[in-house]
Amino acid sequence: MKIILNQDVVNLGEEGDVVIVKDGYARNYLLPIKAAVLFNKTNMSLFATRERAIQKRKNEKRTLASDLKSKLDETIITLVLSAGESGKLFGSVTSSMIQEELSKLGFEVERKRIEVSSHTIKMVGNYTVRIRLYEEESAEISVVVESETMVKAREVAAAKVAAEAARADAKVAAEVAKATASSEEAKAANKAAVKAAKVAEEAAAEVQEATKEALVVAQGVEAAAIAEVAVEEIE
């Protein structure tokens, strides 16, 4: 069926374009939502009167797309997902995940414009994802995929370093206080320093426990995935 697009339609065309689509697609979707009208003399004449306004909107969209491209090209998003020891994800990165992360950064991008083919990103690592904007304009964002377990391990290591630093600072503070302050002041300073070191150690322990829990969950997910594959093979 020959139609005239009443608005931009991803993967089909722009407002004012004359395109040919399957009858069912036109009757069941495009025409009911008024995304298009039938191609005939009456509608062609109507669009001819709107030509100037359509071109103005297109120019505005080109400008917006160019501005958005410059921002997206510099954007890096990080996804922390469950993965096995080899770095293989328990699942894959989807366009919905990327759309959600972009939304958190203030970018409203249609999911259909994010080019992430199904099951193409299934390992931790650095990737480049293309986003179609307007006409031939597109942007490329950097996507960093990290293992949840590895991130937790880094947090544990950082917490341990912080705890060691707190203990060292506490020791120095206690020695300085002992040398320069009265007996009561020295005791108070030493007590505060010991408390600070204890808080840092407790924080490190909490992060380490969280890492253990995350690993247990990851192992459970992996077992479920293996079981699912086994069932499919039996069937």
Distances (CA, A) of 84 to 122, 149, 197, 211, 231: 11, 9, 34, 14, 21
pLDDT in tens, 48-92: 999 999 999 999 999 999 999 999 999 999 999 998 888 899 888
170 phi/psi in degrees, rounded to 5: -65, -40
Residue 207 forms beta bridges with which residues? none
Question: What pLDDT, on the 0 to 100 scale, is given for residue 227?
Answer: 43
Determine the residue type at 210: A
Question: What pLDDT, on the 0 to 100 scale, is given for residue 149?
Answer: 84
Is 178 within 8 Å of 113 (Cβ atoms)? no
Question: What pLDDT, on the 0 to 100 scale, is given for residue 181?
Answer: 54
Both structure tokens of 184: 């009561």
Output the DSSP codes for 14-58.
-TT-EEE--HHHIIIIITTTTSEEE-SHHHHHHHHHTHHHHHHHH
Question: What pLDDT, on the 0 to 100 scale, is given for residue 211?
Answer: 57
Q: How far, in Å, CA of 13 to CA of 24, rounded?
A: 18
Give the other-Cβ count within 10 Å of 158's Cβ: 12
pLDDT in tens, 188-206: 666 766 676 676 667 666 6
- Which residues contact residue 1 at a Cβ distance below 8 angstroms, ignoring those fewer than 6 apart? 20, 21, 22, 23, 26, 27, 38
Which of the 8 DSSP states describes residue 84? -
Q: Label the pairing between strands 2-5 and 18-20.
A: antiparallel
Q: ∠112-40-7 over CA atoms, to 5°?
A: 25
User: What are the 10-residue block averages of pLDDT along the chain, 235 residues in total?
Assistant: 93 92 95 95 93 94 94 95 89 92 94 84 93 92 91 79 79 70 62 67 64 55 43 39
Question: What pLDDT, on the 0 to 100 scale, is given for residue 7?
Answer: 93
